[in-house]
A = this chain, B = another copy of it.
Amino acid sequence: MPEKARVVRPITLRDIAREAGVSINTASRALTGKPDVSDKTRRLVQAVADRLDYRPNQLARGLRQRKTATIGVVVADLANPFFAEVAEGIERTAAGEGYSIIVANTEENEERERRAVHTLVERQVDGILIAPTQSSDASIRYLLQRRIPVVLLARFFEHLQVPAVINDDREGARLAVRHLIQRGHRDILYLNGPPYNSSARLRLSGYQDALQEAGIPFRSSLVISTDARAAGGYAAIQQALAAGLPFTAVFCFSDYVSFGAIRALRQARLGIPKDVAVMGYDDIDLAGLVEPALSTVHIAKTRLGQVAARMLMGMMEPSGKQAERVGVTVLAPQLVIRESA
């Protein structure tokens, strides 16, 4: 007959206290490094805790302290290298300060975002980092109203005063398109992201800025909205080619879109950059590894995550700044010229 598995009850402060012959209170103070504990008892308690491998229950601690050392991270798509790198920057920074992160995916879905935010609130996270689906700002307003520290990632709302860490999208697009123009292109296709996305709007402005500087008239027919994925870039190029749109260069909303676009161009037997130049945006890891190496606009993704996390942790301190006083941090984009343009 098999022995019944003995369920090991976790060691609590009470166990430590009993074993060390002190009160629970004293055990707590000793272990949390509070003053007003004699060195002798502190060492004793510490020794017992070590021996029993005591692990404080952070649930109980959080309940009591109204502070969980947890940050909620809400992104559109974890599998997207852009967000994955941002998340990595956040995780590293948070872990360094003793914070854990709860991660939720929205897939750009408003309802999933709503649920994710509620879940995080119920789990008493100390603050939230979120790349908002911008079809609605309800979740953000909800957090503001509940006075929960929040910092937006990579996107922002013009009409809402919320701290954010973003890339200078307008400038980045300007740099990219200016580069294409310098290489002699005048018919530049722009495969943009979805219009509700703040980056998409700003990059479109940057695209227009660069054209205007060069005295090239803007043609809305050369701007195609995509879903910002590779398939979108692929489809958009096919569509452009079929429609007989005249272009010698393509500026893409993201590196992913570029990869799709390049694939479609190749299938049409167009050489890159010989026949058509291509520029991406984001500078994901693989951009420099493919053939032709992708010319693109670099965003400091881990840095973005790191800065956002630091900003949030600052707001979460007892004496931390209020959201209204934090503002928006804008990261400078950087042009990366490789082979595709």
Please give the residue numbers on chain A whose beta carbons come within 8 Å of chain B beta carbons, in ascending order: 5, 7-8, 55-60, 62-63, 68, 70, 77-81, 84-85, 87-88, 91-92, 95, 100-105, 112, 115-116, 118-124, 146-147, 230, 259-260, 262-263, 266, 285-286, 289-292, 302, 322
What is the chain B residue whose CB lies nearest that of A120? B100
Contacts of A259 in B (CB 8 A): 286, 289-290
Query: Contacts A123-B58, A260-B289, A289-B259 given: A91-B63 contact, CB under 8 Å?
Result: no
What is the chain B residue whose CB lies nearest that of A61? B122
Contacts of A77 in B (CB 8 A): 88
Contacts of A119 in B (CB 8 A): 100
Q: What would be 28 A-B contacts, judged by CB atoms less than 8 Å apart? A: A8-B146, A55-B118, A55-B121, A57-B122, A58-B124, A59-B62, A59-B68, A59-B124, A70-B123, A77-B88, A78-B84, A78-B87, A78-B88, A79-B81, A79-B285, A84-B84, A91-B103, A91-B104, A91-B105, A95-B104, A95-B112, A101-B102, A101-B103, A103-B103, A230-B289, A262-B291, A266-B291, A286-B286
Contacts of A122 in B (CB 8 A): 55-58
Contacts of A116 in B (CB 8 A): 95
Contacts of A81 in B (CB 8 A): 79, 81, 84
Contacts of A85 in B (CB 8 A): 79
Q: Are B84 and A79 in contact (CB under 8 A)?
A: yes
What is the chain B residue whose CB lies nearest that of A324? B5
Bound together, the chains give a CA A57 to CA B121 distance in angstroms of 8
Q: Are B8 and A147 in contact (CB under 8 A)?
A: yes
Query: Contacts A91-B104, A123-B100, A289-B230 given: A322-B59 contact, CB under 8 Å?
Result: no
Bound together, the chains give a CA A123 to CA B59 distance in angstroms of 6
Bound together, the chains give a CA A95 to CA B124 distance in angstroms of 17
Contacts of A123 in B (CB 8 A): 58-59, 70, 100
Bound together, the chains give a CA A100 to CA B124 distance in angstroms of 13
Contacts of A124 in B (CB 8 A): 57-59
Contacts of A88 in B (CB 8 A): 77-79, 105
Give chain B nearest CB distance to A83 CB in angstroms: 8
Q: Are B105 and A92 in contact (CB under 8 A)?
A: yes
What is the chain B residue whose CB lies nearest that of A83? B84
Contact of A5 among B91, B230, B322 (CB under 8 A): B322
